[in-house]
Amino acid sequence: LNDEGLNLLKNYPELLLGLIIGSIIGIVFFGGIPVGPLMAAGLAAFFLKILSFFR
């Protein structure tokens, strides 16, 4: 999953700012545990692949 996140960040480096802001919001407001931008990008890539099946 992290490999997919790495590929996503290589192709779209502008997503990094959104991932960092989302991680901060998740930690501060929802008491989340930071898993790092690479794992967050992997999850984003996973959800984007799922959404592509419905198009």
Four-point Cα dihedral 47, 48, 50, 51, nearest 10: 120
Cα–Cα distance between 16 and 13 in angstroms, integer? 6
0.75 exceeded by pTM: no
**Predicted local distance difference test score (pLDDT) of residue 37:** 72
Each residue of 37-55: pLDDT tens digit?
Answer: 778 788 888 998 999 998 8
**Predicted local distance difference test score (pLDDT) of residue 44:** 85
**Predicted local distance difference test score (pLDDT) of residue 50:** 92
Each residue of 9-40: pLDDT tens digit?
Answer: 889 888 888 888 888 888 899 888 777 777 87
Cα–Cα distance between 2 and 53 in angstroms, integer? 21
Cα–Cα distance between 4 and 11 in angstroms, integer? 11
